[in-house]
């Protein structure tokens, strides 16, 4: 059974850079046909896709966050990571990592991490 | 403001049926398949419908999906208390080059 686990600081200061890692167990991030995603959810609000990385290192980003986000993959440690700079209070959210099937014609998130709350505050 | 429009709330009594709508446009629902996710309080979302109307294994057949033009619907029959959750539709938007979620619908089982 595939499992994903987010890790990183729960508190980030305004203007600083957030760094989160998602560790995958029970499967390989090197498997083709999938990409590896970050999604966030502000408290009491809906889901927002941040972006994704592929086993070959390619990336896709949400246009609204593209200038601030870097997603990378570490196949040797079976992990992928998120870096988001210039954090503000509006970035306070639960951050989820998730696997997405991307083989045509079906694209969907099939496995999610439990999520980690990141609060931006001085 | 979400690209995909869902009603903020829905409700029903145990045993009843309820339908949740998700309306989009020609660059998203109109040309791509839609997935539905269920999010129980304090947990990660869970896939309940993919490709408009397909159920993953383990999802009860009380859940069904349909699509017409630029709108999709999630129907839940025989409501149970454990169905009380937030429900999100999601698809790719080709114009925005973005993966978009609906704003979510909070289902209350009265």
Report pLDDT digits (tens) over B2-53: 899 999 999 999 999 999 999 999 999 999 999 999 999 999 999 999 999 9
Render pLDDT for A80-110 as a digit per residue (tens, 0 to 9).
999 999 999 999 999 999 999 998 778 999 9
What is the model's pLDDT at position B105? 98
> What are the helix and strand counts (H, E) for chain A?
0, 11
Which residues in chain B have their CB less than 8 angstroms from residue A110's CB? 47, 56
Contact B45, B38 (CB under 8 A): yes
**Is A47 within 8 Å of B101 when comparing Cβ atoms?**
yes
| Size of chain B, expressed as the number of residues it contains | 110
Does the CB of B67 have a partner CB in chain A at under 8 Å?
no
A63–B51: do the CB atoms touch at under 8 Å? no
Contact status, residue A10 vs residue A117, Cβ threshold 8 Å: yes
Q: What is the per-residue pLDDT for B1? A: 79
Residue with tokens 């080059």: B97
């Amino acid at each position: 059974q595939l499992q994903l686990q987010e890790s990183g600081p729960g508190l980030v200061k305004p203007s600083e850079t957030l760094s989160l890692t998602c560790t995958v167990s029970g499967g390989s991030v090197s498997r083709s046909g999938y990409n590896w995603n970050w999604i966030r959810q502000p408290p009491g609000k809906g889901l927002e896709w941040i972006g994704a990385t592929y086993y070959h290192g390619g990336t896709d980003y949400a246009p609204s966050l593209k200038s601030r986000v870097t997603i990378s993959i570490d196949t040797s440690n079976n992990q992928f990571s998120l870096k988001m700079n210039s954090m503000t209070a509006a970035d306070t959210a639960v951050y989820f990592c998730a696997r997405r099937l991307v083989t045509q014609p079906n694209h969907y998130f099939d496995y999610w991490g439990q999520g980690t709350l990141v609060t931006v505050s001085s | 403001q979400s690209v995909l429009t869902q009603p903020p709330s829905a409700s029903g009594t145990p045993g009843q049926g309820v339908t949740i709508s998700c309306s989009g446009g020609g660059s998203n629902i109109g040309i791509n398949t839609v997935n539905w996710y269920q999010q129980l309080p304090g947990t990660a979302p869970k896939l309940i419908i993919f490709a408009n109307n397909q159920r993953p294994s383990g999802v009860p057949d009380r859940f069904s999906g349909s699509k017409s033009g630029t709108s999709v619907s999630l129907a839940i029959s025989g409501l149970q208390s454990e169905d009380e959750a937030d429900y999100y539709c999601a698809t790719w938007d080709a114009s925005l080059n973005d993966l978009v979620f609906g704003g979510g619908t909070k289902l209350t089982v009265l």
